[in-house]
Structure 1
């Protein structure tokens, strides 16, 4: 459909409202792109065209995205009409008895959900290569590279133009890593900003939160406004927004005190392209009148990541144990991948006291970061320490869970910035402000003080206007690899299995 990929979700909804296009026509355009591109990407799963058509025919809510096609991540966002594999053979085709509060709010915007996007098992990887899909999820900018994780499918479908915006979640960078890898905008809100219920109170001791990947700041702002606020019985929630994300982007922020870090927060060097991305962002901010100085947070980053690793291992062991209990059997070969088996073994060595000590360490780390932010409004760095990794580098085959996470070549070495803001609960974002000479996206990471979401997204919008990225597209080689005649995946089937 002419103009489908040249409009963001807000503009597409405007075309629906004016009668220039129908929701069915937009869904047709999205499904055509799934058929053409998903064989190369392996990013869409559990396609439910029938559900989407019925929703349109029944009459969509008159929300800000009425008629725009949308995809949920295959992890969380429980929805009766959209079963989930959660990236795992053990959880294949999990069905839900009720909708999550988050999905109810998404649906109320008028979005037309028609499937889910791929995720690594349990959401614990920076790439998306789960065995349940039959193939790794690939990056539209370079099919030999990862689209990131754990919202890697979401990143791939937005970058490829299948949908203008997609649901994700972020427990250690899982929105911002794909945003960086795929040349998109990703925002992690302050802890407790969005509902987790009714089937959960928090994720990973409060470090995980839902979010969205988009190509425009305004799309993200509008969907976050629609989803913000506690659900009934929430154990805690973020300080209320003053006017909202969408109102915040209508004006630039005051001139800010910016801490620029071009190394890891530990002081170690990063890939030159990532350093250059941060330096260029610092220069851009300075040209806009912000005060920029080199600085990095003085906090126990290594200790935090050790605590994060313990908490996530326990969370992984818990969901596996609960699933096996429901099935009434023991773990069998092929149920889960190596990293998850390693997490079970690692968690078995952690006592209840050890777990609470890890949570206490995370809380102490949040105070250390808050002390640093007392002097600064924003801290700017690369989003990752390297450009997008090659497929296979972070596959889940290994059972050495600890090395996978915090070893010298592990996830934290690759992504040393993102989990910091999950642990502290602060808002953070990745902006697509740089590309390498060979065309790989490199994100720039911005973090603000706890609760300062509106200031941060206002700054993101200012940077978007100063250095627009919307019209940057993956190279034509993806089109050469696409298969326009490919059949759409059948309802509730895994696209990777059909093409892998």
Structure 2
């Protein structure tokens, strides 16, 4: 197998080749290491050199031997140092003596973890430019951001270096990088993928764990392997009636689909982004669905009160945990200014303030739930614009407060956070391109635990508006 052959395949395709005996898994791994080395000097997507041998994995798993990137945040592997994009974890990072539940499931699925991917400090923001690792650069245009916080994973997948990589999402951190880099990113419903054993839920219920891929069939196949209840989980989500992969061929028609292109924050939306969403709406009509302009009604100012409090609580919890694990003290020598401001705001948070935020979250969730009694899906932009210039968010700006920081990244990236606060599933698909050739993601969202419907409609759109073959300027085959 050469790099060009490897880069043509998604995770399912690589797994099929290995399973058939056409290519040994060890050979695939060596090609992946070479591929990562080809693009890493330009995009800076990894936080360490790829391993000469992958982490142990189940060689009978359905994705046995498929090269995989592990985001350096939350999900962790036994014996592998984690830095979380922060100086607070020390020069060597923190090391756990056990896998997180999701990591164990990745191994059981057969995914061959080959590299650690970059994240902003603690995942606290919408671009991937931490002081400890430097800027991860967009393979479509090296002057552009990869988004965040799963920016390293998205860049590695988009550039052909690995077919799939771990990601997590508390405000858009799977979907935003997918939009900026031209990949596929599903944020599952709250509780579908375990955050155990260390978290009952992530970021006051905002966070979900999963992967970034290049195809919808990889989304379905990997979700079949990692979704499901674990004893002691706060939420027990009923398993779907059939495997997610069976939804790939489901022929839905006549769905009630809302389309909305105005920013809920009132901020500008790029005309190419609007055009991309309108093109998808037209394709859905051609597929026999009923599509009309509509939006859930909720109080955005109130929503942002809750967001500011949840994100400050998240920053505080991350900093407290990192400090306890490393023995280092939080401060300007160990934290970027935005994270430090969020940590300090979290320390000041009162129980009544957090309770009020949870009340707002409930009202927002009820409003969206009522909306989904009238519509099966809503389509929106994933991001307000194609990939923004590097530095569009300065994580080390000590002149702004935690609240101002939260508003700043929500203003730029206003379409994704609603589905975190409500816990509902949403996926970004690379269905558009800007006038300058940058990818544009279109977001599909549905009611709680409607991943089967999202996968089915996403597969319809992938067939109707295929994106396979689009390659960025920096790619392993070039």
TM-score if structure 1 supplies the norm length? Answer: 0.91
Partner of 2:471: 473
Post-superposition Cα deviations, 1:208-234, rounded to whole Å, max 9, x if no partner, equal 010111111001111111000121210
1:313 to 2:312 alignment? yes
What's the offset of the Cα at 1:181? 0.4
Helix, strand or coil at the partner of 1:229: coil
Task: Work out the CA distance in 2 between the residues paired with 1:331 and 1:411.
Answer: 23
Partner of 1:149: 148
1:224 to 2:232 alignment? no
- 1:277–1:434 contact (8 Å) kept in structure 2: yes
Post-superposition Cα deviations, 1:367-398, rounded to whole Å, max 9, x if no partner, equal 11101111111111110111111101112012
Task: Work out the CA distance in 1 between the residues paired with 2:28 and 2:342.
Answer: 42
- 2:145–2:389 contact (8 Å) kept in structure 1: yes
Change (3 A) 1:83 1:333: same
- 1:46–1:84 contact (8 Å) kept in structure 2: no
- 1:80–1:98 contact (8 Å) kept in structure 2: yes
More displaced stretch, 374-383 vs 321-330: 321-330
- 1:48–1:82 contact (8 Å) kept in structure 2: no
Post-superposition Cα deviations, 1:76-114, rounded to whole Å, max 9, x if no partner, equal 112103221111111241101211111111111111112
Change (3 A) 1:76 1:47: farther
Post-superposition Cα deviations, 1:233-253, rounded to whole Å, max 9, x if no partner, equal 101133322213111112122
Partner of 1:293: 292
Change (3 A) 1:6 1:329: closer
Partner of 1:195: 194
Partner of 1:387: 386
* 1:85 aligned residue (80, 83, 86): 83
Task: Work out the CA distance in 1 between the residues paired with 2:323 and 2:82.
Answer: 17
Task: Work out the CA distance in 2 between the residues paired with 1:74 and 1:324.
Answer: 17
Task: Work out the CA distance in 2 between the residues paired with 1:41 and 1:309.
Answer: 31
Partner of 1:421: 419
Post-superposition Cα deviations, 1:344-381, rounded to whole Å, max 9, x if no partner, equal 23223321111121122112211111011111111111
Partner of 1:364: 363
Instruction: Map 1:229-248; keep pairs closer than 5 Å.
Output: 229-248=228-247
What's the offset of the Cα at 1:269? 4.5
What's the offset of the Cα at 1:188? 0.9
More displaced stretch, 42-51 vs 119-128: 42-51
Instruction: Map 1:38-187; keep pairs closer than 5 Å.
Output: 38-47=40-49, 49-52=51-54, 55=56, 60-92=58-90, 93-133=93-133, 135-187=134-186
Partner of 1:486: none
Post-superposition Cα deviations, 1:243-273, rounded to whole Å, max 9, x if no partner, equal 1311111212242111111211356651111
What's the offset of the Cα at 1:155? 0.4
What's the offset of the Cα at 1:325? 4.1
Partner of 2:250: 251
What's the offset of the Cα at 1:328? 4.9
Partner of 1:272: 271
Q: Aligned-residue CA RMSD in angstroms?
A: 1.8
Partner of 2:38: 36
- 1:304–1:362 contact (8 Å) kept in structure 2: yes
Partner of 2:404: 403
What's the offset of the Cα at 1:48? 5.3
Change (3 A) 1:16 1:355: same
What's the offset of the Cα at 1:192? 0.4
- 2:263–2:384 contact (8 Å) kept in structure 1: yes
| Number of equivalent positions | 472
Partner of 1:19: 21
- 2:36–2:50 contact (8 Å) kept in structure 1: no
Task: Work out the CA distance in 1 between the residues paired with 2:157 and 2:327.
Answer: 39
More displaced stretch, 343-352 vs 466-475: 343-352
Partner of 2:462: 464
Task: Work out the CA distance in 1 between the residues paired with 2:184 and 2:325.
Answer: 38
- 2:89–2:325 contact (8 Å) kept in structure 1: no
Partner of 2:376: 377
What's the offset of the Cα at 1:20? 1.4
Structure 2 spans left out of the alignment, 5+ residues = none
Helix, strand or coil at the partner of 1:45: coil
Helix, strand or coil at the partner of 1:418: coil
What's the offset of the Cα at 1:315? 1.9
- 1:46–1:82 contact (8 Å) kept in structure 2: no
- 1:191–1:206 contact (8 Å) kept in structure 2: yes
Task: Work out the CA distance in 2 between the residues paired with 1:277 and 1:301.
Answer: 25
Post-superposition Cα deviations, 1:9-48, rounded to whole Å, max 9, x if no partner, equal 1111111112111111111111112212111111112345
- 1:167–1:213 contact (8 Å) kept in structure 2: yes
What's the offset of the Cα at 1:432? 0.4
- 2:163–2:214 contact (8 Å) kept in structure 1: yes
Task: Work out the CA distance in 2 between the residues paired with 1:306 and 1:384.
Answer: 21
